[in-house]
Amino acid sequence: MTAPAPAARCTLDLKIVPNAPRNEVAGWLGEALKIKVHAPALEGRANDELCEFLADKLKLPRRAVTLLRGEKSRQKTVRLDGLTLAEARQRLGV
């Protein structure tokens, strides 16, 4: 009996710009993906909107996008459950 294959999972390093006119993927800055979010950086609203935006853009359930690092920083790391890094890059179009 073989063990089941591990589920696809990856992490993304992000540079977030809050208070943008709209949510959008702005491209790569070195190893980090730059994402603009409309929400202000108050009371975690930008983090919530970021996770919802990524889930929608990647066609994942919201629970599959987890903020790992950078809760109060513009530099963040998110974990994506259900996708490899190559699949995430393809779906983001970057």
| 2: CB partners within 8 A, 6+ apart | none
The tokens of 13 are what? 């390093």
pLDDT of the chain, 94 residues: tens digit per residue = 565 556 789 999 999 999 999 999 999 999 999 999 999 999 999 999 999 999 999 999 999 999 999 999 999 999 999 999 999 999 998 8
Say if residues 92 and 33 touch (Cβ distance below 8 Å): yes
Distance of CA 7 to the CA centre of its chain: 18
CATH 3.30.420.10 correct for 10-92: no
Helix (H, G, I), strand (E, B) or coil at 9: strand
Domain ranges (residues) in the chain: 10-92
d(CA 73, CA 82): 26
